[in-house]
Structure formats: C-alpha cells, structure tokens
C-alpha cells in the first residue's frame, strides 16, 4: 500500500490532525513546533505541506521541497506563499477560502453594534475605571438606519441579511452581480456609488485589487453624511487610512469599526489614538468553529492532493508542461490576461464568455477558456477563482462559457479571440504571440490595432474628427500623465479608437476630463 507524507508546518485544529492520523495512506508528520531551519530538512520528504501565516513558502522553502506535489494554505490569504516560484517547480498551491465566512460576518456585526452603542468604551469606563455614568453613553439603534453594503458576495450578502433582521434598510453596490440577487432579498440594488455614500452606516466586503484599494478616500468621505459610521472587516487599505483618520478626527465620521490594516501588526497605528474607533487585531477567522472548519478542510484537501484525486481551490495550474507543446502555455497565460483586461474595460455583471482559437492553438481552446474565465472573473468575485473551480463558479453565477476551435487563421499563425458579454454590452479582444515571443493585442471591438499587453492603459473611442489626438495629449499633460505609447485605429463608421499606454496611474478626475471632450464616445481605463 502506497503511503504519502503530509507535513503540517503550522498549528491547525486537532480535528484536522486526527483526519491525517487516521488515514492509512498518509504518513503524517507534525512539525509546527519545529525550528524553521529544521523544518527545511523535514519537508524534503513531504508530498504535501500544510502551512499558515507562520511559515514563509519562499525560495528557500521551495528549494528544499524536492518531492512536493502541493501546498495547502490553511486560510484565505496566500501573501506568504511564492505562487510563481511554486508553479515553476510544479507545486500546486491551494487555500481554504470559505471556512471562515460566518466568523467574518459575525465580527462585522460585532463592530457595527459596538460603534453604534460605543460598547467597548462604556465597558472600560465601568470595568477598568469603576465609573458608573449611564448618561455618558447614549448610543444609536440599528433599526431604521440605512446600511450601505459594498460587495454583495459570500460575506457581504450574509451581513446584509443579518442587518435586515435588525430592521435596517439595505442598499447594496456590486456591479458584478445580477440585481435580483439583492432585490430578491427585499433590499435595494444600486449602480450609483453616490447612493452608498448617502447611507448612515457603510460596510465593505470586496477583494483587494487595483479597483478597490483606497476605494473610500477623502473625496468620498466628504460626500458622506455627517456622523457616518464606517466598518472594515475585509482587507486593509480598502479605506484610505489617512483619509479615515482625518474623517474620524474631524468627527465627519462619527465612529469606525476596523479589524484590518494596511500593515500588520498595527500596534502603533494612529487610529489607535482616537476615541471614536473600535479595533481588533485581524480576528475575522478567530472563532473555534472557523478554526475547526479551516483545519478539517485543509486536511481533507491535503489528503486529496497527496493521493492525486483533486486539487480543491488550486491557485495555480496543475499541468504537466512536458505533455504540451512549449508554445501553448504562453497563450494560456495571455488568455487569462486579456480576460482580465476585458473585465476592466467592460465593468458589469458578466453574462457570457466566448473563446475562439485559430491555428494550432485551437486544439487547446478548452484550456484557453478556463484561463480566460479565471482572468475575467477574478476582479468581480469575492471567491478565490482558480483553474479548478472556474467552471463551477461561473455556473453558480449564471455565466455561460463557450469555446470555438477554428483551424485556419488567414493572417496570424495562431490567434485567440475572447468575447465578454455583460449587462452593459460585449467587448471583443483578439491577441497573438509573434515569433519574438512578444504578446500583442491585434484587435479590440472591431478596430485593428496593435498594443502591448502591459501597464496602465486608456482606451479612448471617439468620433473621427480633426484635433482629437491633440486634445487627448493636452488633457493628459494637464494632469501630469506621461504617454508611453499611442496606438490609433479607425473604422468605416467614422469612429476611431486610441489605446494609450501611460507611465503612471490615472485618476478618476483625469478620466472624467477626457470623457468631457466633445468628440469622446467612451473612455475606459485598465491596469495590467
């Protein structure tokens, strides 16, 4: 009977350890208390390792993991795992993304109630200072208050349902879901972020990415109600921390409940000096139930991976590159990137994804569609999208994924085309790889245009009239935005598309100014 070695590098719940001990095919090694130098010797014999935040899966770790098939990160975050390094060595990286959902939901409600009733402060007054002063602690009720929920996914939707039980009015903002997911719960769905800023309490539950970092800053806070309450139990940096501090200090924000920070541990953070904030040290997963769920799910995933049964929640591709031609993988990677690009250009609820392959790459169009789906859905989901679960997540969200193999390509040796259909329309992008291994977009929405797949990108569609290029250039210059590359294409309908690569991030104000130009039909911005 073949046995597989699973090394547990950090402490997980005893129930998970029991699962490993009781499986006759598993040689279980508990190494959580071992010195990290000694651990490197232990993992040389491991088929699978289970880690948490205490073990860095870095280049040194990977170099010693000579026989490793997979690593299971017992939790959501994989910041301490070198995924690219693991991929190069054929090590599959998995995580446990949903085990702490209820814990995170209930912690959000804890902060919300604590902010409204100032509970930690009244507690300290009596418990620590022995002061009985009831008149000092008048709070507010949740009933009748308007709660703005940013992100209506796995956690945000559950927070909203619990808030509904408190007889709150719920307004949800999430451009990547179907409105019925909100309205079916007798809640209000909005496409306008201004509706969220008008709420009494705002809570955020989005992934952390280019679109959501600093989503709430000085400008947004200025538009809020005086005395607003803000909650963040999702990811540090979704609220701009300097703006949050200023808003709390000026009392524009009456109270804030914060569990996560940009840099942790945050033991000397300026927010800790304020008397109108409740804080906790990143406790979103810190319940006995969630630790049980994390431990048992991590153990189950490790057992399946060790036996080669499946790789649940894989973060990288379980692929044997020796079995595919060398030219295929760059196309797969490019497919994911243009899927990601299309989702930034067409920011709305995804309805369908169609992937076409022309030339030899058409033999791998099904794999291509998986990669494209991962890229397209990664921006809009609070779930971890990976190559294993992409099809299932798409089905759950009602997204149709199609693939089409076209053996002949009249112009290019190999060409991939994706069509991303959302509630707002369809975006089409074609791309290829030239002989010098350079990835290039060659068409966008019917415009033949050659663009590199990199950097900050502005897509400006306009009426084809004189003076537009000069207006674009002067507008960007006025905002101190430097142009790195400028590609232009025209069609038969007297329209033009400019794709402008720039050297630095582009502000909303810059985009608004471009949109105000007379000839502008549309303007979009993406970051690769």
What is the per-residue pLDDT for 158? 96
Output DSSP code: residue 168: P
**Sheet with strand 26-30: strands edge to edge:** 26-30, 4-8, 48-51, 70-73, 92-95
Spell 227-255 as b/e; 16+ CB within 10 A means b: ebbbbbbbbbbbbbbebbbebbeeeebbb
Exactly one of 89, 218, 242, 264 is catalytic; which is it? 264
CATH number of the domain at 4-99+289-307, out of 3.40.50.300, 1.20.1530.20, 3.10.310.10, 3.40.50.720?
A: 3.40.50.720
The candidate with the shortest Cα–Cα distance to 393, out of 303, 323, 313, is: 313
Active site residue 282: yes
Token digits of residue 347: 């920011």
Gap between the Cα atoms of 149 and 203, Å rounded: 5
In CATH, what class is 321-527?
A: alpha beta
Domain with CATH 3.40.50.720 in the chain: 4-99+289-307, 101-279
Active site residue 235: yes
> Quick one: 30 exposed, middle or buried, by C-beta within 10 A (0-12, 13-18, 19+)?
middle
Phi, psi torsion values for 390, nearest 5 degrees = -55, -45
The separation between CA 19 and the C-alpha centre of its own chain, rounded to angstroms, equals 31
What is the per-residue pLDDT for 436? 66
The candidate with the shortest Cα–Cα distance to 46, out of 9, 97, 88, 75, is: 9
The separation between CA 334 and the C-alpha centre of its own chain, rounded to angstroms, equals 19
Gap between the Cα atoms of 107 and 259, Å rounded: 9
CB atoms within 10 A of CB 495: 17
Gap between the Cα atoms of 361 and 334, Å rounded: 12
Exactly one of 13, 158, 254, 282 is catalytic; which is it? 282
What is the per-residue pLDDT for 28? 95
CB atoms within 10 A of CB 467: 10
| SS3 label, residue 59 | helix
Active site residue 242: no
CB atoms within 10 A of CB 92: 24
Please, are residues 499 and 445 in contact by the beta-carbon 8 Å criterion? Answer: no
Strands 483-490 and 456-463 come out as unpaired
What is the per-residue pLDDT for 323? 62
Exactly one of 52, 158, 205, 235 is catalytic; which is it? 235
Strands (E), 188-329: 188-190, 201-204, 228-232, 253-258, 277-279
**What residues in the chain have per-residue pLDDT under 70?**
1, 317-323, 381-384, 386, 388, 408-410, 436
What is the per-residue pLDDT for 98? 84
What is the per-residue pLDDT for 383? 53
Strands 48-51 and 70-73 come out as parallel
Please, are residues 299 and 307 in contact by the beta-carbon 8 Å criterion? Answer: no
- Residue 55: left if φ>0, alpha if ψ -120 to 50, beta else—which one? beta
The separation between CA 146 and the C-alpha centre of its own chain, rounded to angstroms, equals 26
The candidate with the shortest Cα–Cα distance to 115, out of 281, 270, 280, is: 280
Domain with CATH 3.30.1330.90 in the chain: 321-527
Its CATH architecture, for the domain 101-279, is: 3-Layer(aba) Sandwich (3.40)
Q: How far is CA 423 from CA 149, 175, 187, 191, 378, in A?
A: 21, 10, 20, 12, 17
The separation between CA 500 and the C-alpha centre of its own chain, rounded to angstroms, equals 25
- Residue 166: left if φ>0, alpha if ψ -120 to 50, beta else—which one? alpha
What is the per-residue pLDDT for 382? 55
CB atoms within 10 A of CB 123: 12
Gap between the Cα atoms of 147 and 142, Å rounded: 9
């Amino acid at each position: 009977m073949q046995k597989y070695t699973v090394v547990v590098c950090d402490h997980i719940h005893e129930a998970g350890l029991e699962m490993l001990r009781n499986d006759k095919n598993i040689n279980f090694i508990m190494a959580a208390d071992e010195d990290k130098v000694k651990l490197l010797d232990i993992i040389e014999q491991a088929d699978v390792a289970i880690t948490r935040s205490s073990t860095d899966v870095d280049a040194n770790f990977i170099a010693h993991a000579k026989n490793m098939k997979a690593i299971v990160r017992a939790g959501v975050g994989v910041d301490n795992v070198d995924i690219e390094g693991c991929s190069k060595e054929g090590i599959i990286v998995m995580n446990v993304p949903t085990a702490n959902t209820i814990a995170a939901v209930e912690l959000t409600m804890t902060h919300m109630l604590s902010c409204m009733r100032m509970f930690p402060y009244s507690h300290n007054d009596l418990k620590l200072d022995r002061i009985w002063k009831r008149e000092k602690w008048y709070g507010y009720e949740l009933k009748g208050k308007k709660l703005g929920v940013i992100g209506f996914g796995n956690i945000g939707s559950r927070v909203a349902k619990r808030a509904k039980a408190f007889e709150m009015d719920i307004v949800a903002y999430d451009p990547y879901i179907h409105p019925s997911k909100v309205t079916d719960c007798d809640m209000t769905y909005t496409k306008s972020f201004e509706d969220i800023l008008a709420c009494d309490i705002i809570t955020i539950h989005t992934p952390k990415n280019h679109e959501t970092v600093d989503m709430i800053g000085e400008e947004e806070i200025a538009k809020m109600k005086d005395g607003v309450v803000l909650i963040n139990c999702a990811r540090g940096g979704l609220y701009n921390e300097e703006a949050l501090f200023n808003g709390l200090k000026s009392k524009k924000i009456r109270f804030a409940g914060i569990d996560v920070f940009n840099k942790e541990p945050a033991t000397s953070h300026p927010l800790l000096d304020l008397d109108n904030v409740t804080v906790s040290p990143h406790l979103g997963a810190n319940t006995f139930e969630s630790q049980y769920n994390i431990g048992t799910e991590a153990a189950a995933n490790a057992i399946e991976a060790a036996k080669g049964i499946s790789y649940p929640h894989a973060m990288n591709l379980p692929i044997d590159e020796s079995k595919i031609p060398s030219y295929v993988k760059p196309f797969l990677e490019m497919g994911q990137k243009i899927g990601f690009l299309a989702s930034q250009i067409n920011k709305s609820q995804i309805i369908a994804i169609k992937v076409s392959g022309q030339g030899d790459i058409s033999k791998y169009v099904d794999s291509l569609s998986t990669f494209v789906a991962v890229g397209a859905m990664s921006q809009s989901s609070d779930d971890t999208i990976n190559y294993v679960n992409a099809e299932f997540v798409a089905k759950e969200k009602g997204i149709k994924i199609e693939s089409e193999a076209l053996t002949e390509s009249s112009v290019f040796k190999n060409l991939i085309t994706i069509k991303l259909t959302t509630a707002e329309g369809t975006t089409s992008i074609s791309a290829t790889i030239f002989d010098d291994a350079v990835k290039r977009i060659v068409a966008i929405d019917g415009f033949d245009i050659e663009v590199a797949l990199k950097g900050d990108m502005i897509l400006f569609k306009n009426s084809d009239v004189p003076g537009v290029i000069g207006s674009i250039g002067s507008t960007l210059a006025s905002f101190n935005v430097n142009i790195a590359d400028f590609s232009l294409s025209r069609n038969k309908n007297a329209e033009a598309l400019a794709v402008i690569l720039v050297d630095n991030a582009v502000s909303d104000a810059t985009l608004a100014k471009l949109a105000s130009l007379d000839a502008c039909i549309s303007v979009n911005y993406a970051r690769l």
